[in-house]
């Protein structure tokens, strides 16, 4: 959908990393954007970076809450007059550690944020876009960890694989309404989730992770998302677009898997990584 004021997008997880870069990229492309994030502080910081504050709104959303996701999408319609694109990007590292130690609550948290949150985003975007009758574009941020077993913690890999196949399956149903659904699968990207506030330290390591001789940056992913969100990608649907500097082409080594959470030293240890939500992460060791 597009009117004289430009298209409208909602970006979940728009307070940090890939989501923030996507908000700024879409604003550059003329979109009006709702920044939907559970972290009010970082969401407000994204708005401060925007060159066109009148074209941005903020929604306080935990993507695990269906009503909150629906309300964020409704805000786009109320404030900006329609909905053209939704980027389901919010994410955390989630449960990690030895499979023998992972607790159900941490497994569920991981799937609630990474999979159920995406389901809510697609469900409510599709309702609005079907009612508008002019199509739309939904982009789900998955991960190369959804393609194989060695690229992230086990629960995270399982959740991201679910996002990839959910995207393909639902794209079939929504094609008749000209609603496109695609996934972007980032490789290793220098975001606060990965660099923990020290990008310069992380980026040398990240640059050596894949064949491309520089670290993956949030803007690399934002460009791919913007392509899929806008009209230039008409006829692209059900696609899982890998943006990883050649990482999966080359195949990762075992050292890479260790860095991303499948470290054998984690035997007997588990926990949950709440990412940049503002909630502290938890590490537990099995009592002897
Ligand atoms: N950085 C990488 O290397 C990488 C690689 C592959 C995939 N990804 C995916 O990209 C997406 C963005 O990650 P990032 O690296 O930019 O991380 P980030 O931590 O910088 O940003 C994630 C944002 O999501 C928000 N968020 C988390 N849980 C939420 C919830 N329940 N409700 C609403 N918002 C919530 C956080 O507050 C934060 O603003 C995630 O889905 C992640 O899994 C990242």
Rounded Cα gap, residues 214 and 208, in angstroms: 7
Nearest-CA neighbor of 256 among 240, 268, 244?
A: 244
pLDDT of residue 260: 55
How far is ligand 1, taken at its centre, from the CA of residue 26, in Å? Answer: 17
Query: Would you list the DSSP string of 77-104?
Result: HHHHS---EEEE-----EEEE-TTT--H
Interval 33-50 mean pLDDT: 98
The reply to whether 135 falls in a domain is yes
Give the CA dihedral 192, 188, 165, 101, nearest 10 degrees.
-70
If one compares 160 and 255, the residue with the highest pLDDT of the two is 160
pLDDT of residue 1: 42
pLDDT of residue 251: 78
The reply to whether 2 falls in a domain is no
Mutate to test the pocket of ligand 1, among 66, 72, 92 (most ligand atoms within 8 A of CB): 92
The reply to whether 195 falls in a domain is yes
Q: Tell me the backbone φ, ψ of residue 38, rounded to 5 degrees.
A: -80, -20
The reply to whether 1 falls in a domain is no
Return the residue whose CA atom lies nearest to atom 17 of ligand 1. Answer: 193
How far is ligand 1, taken at its centre, from the CA of residue 17, in Å? Answer: 7
Give the CA dihedral 132, 77, 220, 122, nearest 10 degrees.
-60
Mutate to test the pocket of ligand 1, among 12, 13, 256 (most ligand atoms within 8 A of CB): 13
- Which residues' Cβ are closer than 6 Å to ligand 1? 12-13, 15-19, 37-39, 42, 61-64, 89-92, 113, 141, 143, 186, 188-189, 191-194, 275-277
- Average per-residue pLDDT for the chain: 93
The reply to whether 85 falls in a domain is yes
Q: At what angle do helices 17-28 and 40-49 cross, to 10 degrees?
A: 30
Return the residue whose CA atom lies nearest to atom 20 of ligand 1. Answer: 17
> Is the per-residue pLDDT at 2 higher than 80?
no
Number of neighbouring beta carbons within 10 Å of residue 256 = 18
Catalytic residue status for 109? no
The reply to whether 48 falls in a domain is yes
CB-based burial label for 198 (10 Å; 0-12, 13-18, 19+): exposed
User: How would residue 15 be classed by pLDDT, with cut points 50, 70 and 90?
Assistant: very high
pLDDT of residue 269: 86
> Is the per-residue pLDDT at 203 higher than 60?
yes
pLDDT of residue 150: 86
How does DSSP classify residue 66? H
Element (H, E) at 186: strand 179-186
How far is ligand 1, taken at its centre, from the CA of residue 188, in Å? Answer: 12
The reply to whether 3 falls in a domain is no
Nearest-CA neighbor of 195 among 110, 80, 93?
A: 93
User: Sheet containing 56-60: which strands, arranged edge to edge?
Assistant: 56-60, 32-37, 8-12, 85-88, 136-141, 179-186, 240-243
Rounded Cα gap, residues 117 and 121, in angstroms: 6
What is the extent of the structural domain holding 141?
Answer: 8-285
Q: Write out pLDDT tens, residues 112-154.
A: 999 999 999 999 999 999 999 999 999 999 999 999 998 999 9
How far is ligand 1, taken at its centre, from the CA of residue 230, in Å? Answer: 22
Q: At what angle do helices 117-132 and 66-80 cross, to 10 degrees?
A: 40
pLDDT of residue 33: 98
Return the residue whose CA atom lies nearest to atom 43 of ligand 1. Answer: 91
The reply to whether 70 falls in a domain is yes
Element (H, E) at 37: strand 32-37
Candidates 107, 119, 120, 156; catalytic one: 156
| CATH number of residue 240's parent domain | 3.40.50.720
Total domain count, the chain:
1
How far is ligand 1, taken at its centre, from the CA of residue 221, in Å? Answer: 12
Q: Write out pLDDT tens, residues 56-84.
A: 999 999 999 999 999 999 999 999 999 99
Q: Write out pLDDT tens, residues 240-286.
A: 999 999 999 997 665 565 555 566 667 778 999 999 999 999 998 87
Rounded Cα gap, residues 276 and 46, in angstroms: 14
Distance of CA 2 to the CA centre of its chain: 24
């Amino acid at each position: 959908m597009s009117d004289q004021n430009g298209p409208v997008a909602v970006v979940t997880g728009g307070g940090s990393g890939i989501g923030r870069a996507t908000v700024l990229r879409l604003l550059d492309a003329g979109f009006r954007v709702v920044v939907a994030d559970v972290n009010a502080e970082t969401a407000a910081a994204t708005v401060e970076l925007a060159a066109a504050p009148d074209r941005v709104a903020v929604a306080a959303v935990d993507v695990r809450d269906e009503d909150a996701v629906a309300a964020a999408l409704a805000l786009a319609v109320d404030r900006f007059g329609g909905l053209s694109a939704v980027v389901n990007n919010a994410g955390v590292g989630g449960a990690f550690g030895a499979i023998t130690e992972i607790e159900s609550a941490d497994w569920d948290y991981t799937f609630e944020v990474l999979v159920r949150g995406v389901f809510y985003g697609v469900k409510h975007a599709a309702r609005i876009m079907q009612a508008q009758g002019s199509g739309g574009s939904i982009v789900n941020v998955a991960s190369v960890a959804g393609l194989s077993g060695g690229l992230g913690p086990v629960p995270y890999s399982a959740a991201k694989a679910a996002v990839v196949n959910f995207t393909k399956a639902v794209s079939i149903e929504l094609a008749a309404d000209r609603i496109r659904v695609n996934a972007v699968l980032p490789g290793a990207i220098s975001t606060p989730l990965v660099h923990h506030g020290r990008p310069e330290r992380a980026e040398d390591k990240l640059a050596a992770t894949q064949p491309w001789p520089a670290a993956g940056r949030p803007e690399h992913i934002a460009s791919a998302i913007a392509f899929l969100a806008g009209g230039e990608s008409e006829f692209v649907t059900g696609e899982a677009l890998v943006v990883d500097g050649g990482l999966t082409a080359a195949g990762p080594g075992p050292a890479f898997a260790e860095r991303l959470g499948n470290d054998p030293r984690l035997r007997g240890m588990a926990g949950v990584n709440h990412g940049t939500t503002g909630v502290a992460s938890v590490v537990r060791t099995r009592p002897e």
